[in-house]
């Protein structure tokens, strides 16, 4: 462990690395607990599935609106400022759930989630570069992969905490957010006083000066041009599946309650998601990324067909298996889309890819409308998304 957090001069960055890695867990937790809120609001506030989809739509809408401003803030004041701002917004949004639990107003809860979404945008665009520079260049990829594994752990902890507390007997929606809000604000204070190595934001290097891709020409790069919608559809599929996992399970098996379904999401779905990321890292050492995505998209499509048609135990098993196939899609598609971009164009291209996360704002509402009478019908939407991703992978090198 210590060897990957030392630079060439022997300086040890273990403590800063642990703190930065905690950020990956925090935004994984924030996204994971959203899937419990959908079902909770349907039952407590008596709203439709389509309206409950606004939970995810609000958070991912924050990503879309905050992506470019966050980029400008980071370019002007640095990545640490981006992290601190993200933690402050995250903490404020989480603590707003305390008065929200008294008001029990759905629009107010959406406002809380929008503030959290803006904070998560700043964190995600800041933490990755920090993780890569906390040691020597040779071990940068290993550090980032290690940090990202804690993101998967957060996805497990989110629905676990939500299922036990929010969907439990006390149905206390404010407690998990009050705790996480305090933790996040304390962490923000720590980061504001922590000395971290500066990040070299220059994309250009002597060997690529003659081949820079400028901002206007990035859309001429075929792999990037189709990579943006591919990432959009992946986030749409993932978010839609997460949003209505509990609804599907409780409808598919009347003997399973919302709390048990949330635990199944945590350990079954998200557990396989984390395992898939670890396995994918190993497999891709010998397999080209486009082949990996093609196989995973095909597997996820088959799982969606079984989810729609089977129901019962078979449908639930297929739905859980989907998480294994989709686990590697986001980082792999992201990398594939940027593979042929060079120089300053990389920064602009990355911004557009981050904005494509808005796919998560669209799919829950549409899936709620499609699945209002029968939830399995709503999973036609992620099926179509996975088919598009498979096509993108198939034509990637054509």
| Digit-coded pLDDT (tens) for 215-225 | 557 888 888 89
> What is the predicted pLDDT for the residue at 206?
37
Tokens 């040890």, residue located: 12
Q: Pull the structure tokens for residue 17.
A: 């690395």
Partners of 12 in the beta sheet?
6
d(CA 165, CA 188): 25
Contact present, 387 and 301 (Cβ < 8 Å): yes
Mean pLDDT calculated for residue range 65-88: 86
Q: Pull the structure tokens for residue 69.
A: 């401003």
> What is the predicted pLDDT for the residue at 142?
62
State the pLDDT confidence band at 120, using cuts at 50, 70 and 90.
Answer: very high
d(CA 9, CA 3): 12
On whether the pTM is more than 0.95, the answer is: no
Contact present, 273 and 152 (Cβ < 8 Å): yes
> What is the predicted pLDDT for the residue at 324?
94
Contact present, 80 and 196 (Cβ < 8 Å): yes
Q: Pull the structure tokens for residue 334.
A: 């992201």
Residue 263 C-alpha from the chain's centroid: 19
Contact present, 228 and 354 (Cβ < 8 Å): no
Q: DSSP states of 182-201 as a string? A: HHHHHHHHHHHH---PPP--
| Digit-coded pLDDT (tens) for 231-277 | 999 999 999 999 899 999 999 887 898 889 988 998 899 899 988 88
- Name the packing angle between helices 329-338 and 289-309 (round to 10°): 140
Identify the residue with better confidence: 166 or 387.
387
pLDDT at 116 over 90: yes
Q: Pull the structure tokens for residue 4.
A: 């990957």
User: Per this entry, what is the length of the chain?
Assistant: 398
Handedness of CA 175, 178, 182, 185 (dihedral sign): positive
Q: DSSP states of 206-243 as a string? A: GGGGGG---TTTGGG-HHHHHHHHHHHHHHHHHHHHHH
Q: Pull the structure tokens for residue 380.
A: 């036609």
Q: DSSP states of 236-274 as a string? A: HHHHHHHHHHHHHHHHH-TT--HHHHHHIIIIIIHHHHH
Instruction: Say how many CA atoms lie within 13 Å of 145 toward its Cβ.
Output: 17
Identify the residue with better confidence: 14 or 394.
394
pLDDT at 214 over 60: no
> What is the predicted pLDDT for the residue at 179?
94
d(CA 390, CA 387): 5
Identify the residue with better confidence: 208 or 101.
101
- The mean pLDDT value of the chain amounts to 85
Contact present, 338 and 349 (Cβ < 8 Å): yes
> What is the predicted pLDDT for the residue at 323?
95
> What is the predicted pLDDT for the residue at 138?
65
pLDDT at 87 over 60: yes
> What is the predicted pLDDT for the residue at 301?
97
Nearest to 218 by CA among 340, 332, 335: 340
pLDDT at 362 over 50: yes
State the pLDDT confidence band at 346, using cuts at 50, 70 and 90.
Answer: low
| Digit-coded pLDDT (tens) for 277-336 | 888 877 876 788 889 899 999 999 999 999 999 989 999 999 999 999 998 888 788 878
Identify the residue with better confidence: 35 or 58.
58
| Digit-coded pLDDT (tens) for 125-148 | 777 667 767 777 666 556 766 777
d(CA 341, CA 188): 34
Nearest to 177 by CA among 111, 103, 90: 90
| Digit-coded pLDDT (tens) for 153-212 | 888 888 888 888 888 777 789 999 999 999 999 999 988 987 766 655 444 433 344 444
Task: Tell me what percent of the residues of the chain surpass a pLDDT of 90.
Answer: 38
């Amino acid at each position: 462990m210590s060897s990957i957090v030392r630079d060439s001069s022997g300086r040890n960055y273990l403590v800063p690395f642990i703190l930065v890695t905690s950020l990956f867990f925090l935004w994984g937790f924030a996204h994971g607990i959203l899937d419990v809120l959908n079902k909770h609001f349907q039952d407590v506030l008596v709203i439709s599935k389509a309206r409950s989809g606004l939970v995810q739509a609000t958070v991912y809408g924050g990503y879309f609106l905050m992506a470019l401003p966050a980029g400008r803030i980071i370019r002007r004041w640095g990545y640490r400022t981006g992290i601190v701002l993200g933690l402050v917004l995250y903490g404020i949004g989480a603590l707003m759930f305390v008065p929200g639990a008294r008001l029990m107003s759905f629009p107010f809860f959406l406002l809380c989630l929008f503030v959290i979404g803006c904070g998560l945008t700043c964190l995600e665009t800041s933490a990755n570069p920090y993780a890569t520079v906390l040691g020597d260049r040779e071990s940068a990829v290993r550090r980032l992969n290690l940090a990202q594994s804690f993101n998967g752990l957060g996805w497990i902890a989110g629905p676990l905490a939500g299922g036990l507390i929010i969907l439990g007997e006390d149905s206390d929606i404010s407690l998990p957010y009050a705790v996480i809000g305090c933790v996040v604000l304390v962490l923000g204070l720590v980061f504001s006083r922590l000395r971290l190595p500066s990040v070299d934001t220059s994309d250009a290097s002597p060997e690529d000066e003659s081949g820079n891709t400028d901002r206007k020409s990035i859309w001429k790069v075929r792999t990037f041009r189709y990579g943006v919608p591919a990432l959009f559809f992946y986030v749409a599929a993932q978010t839609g599946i997460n949003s209505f996992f509990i609804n599907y399970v409780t409808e598919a098996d009347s003997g399973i309650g919302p709390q048990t379904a949330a635990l199944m999401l945590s350990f079954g779905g998200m557990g396989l998601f984390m395992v898939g990321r670890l396995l994918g890292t190993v497999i891709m050492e010998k397999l080209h990324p486009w082949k990996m995505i093609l196989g995973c998209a095909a597997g996820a499509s088959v799982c969606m067909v079984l989810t729609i048609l089977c129901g019962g135990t078979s449908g639930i098993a297929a739905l859980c298996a989907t998480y294994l196939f989709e686990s590697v899609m986001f980082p792999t598609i992201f990398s594939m889309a940027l593979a042929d971009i060079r120089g300053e164009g990389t920064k602009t291209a990355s911004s557009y890819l981050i904005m494509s996360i808005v796919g998560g704002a669209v799919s829950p509402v549409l899936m709620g409308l499609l699945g209002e009478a029968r939830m399995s019908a709503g999973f036609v939407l992620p099926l179509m998304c996975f088919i598009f991703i498979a096509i993108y992978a198939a034509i990637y090198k054509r």
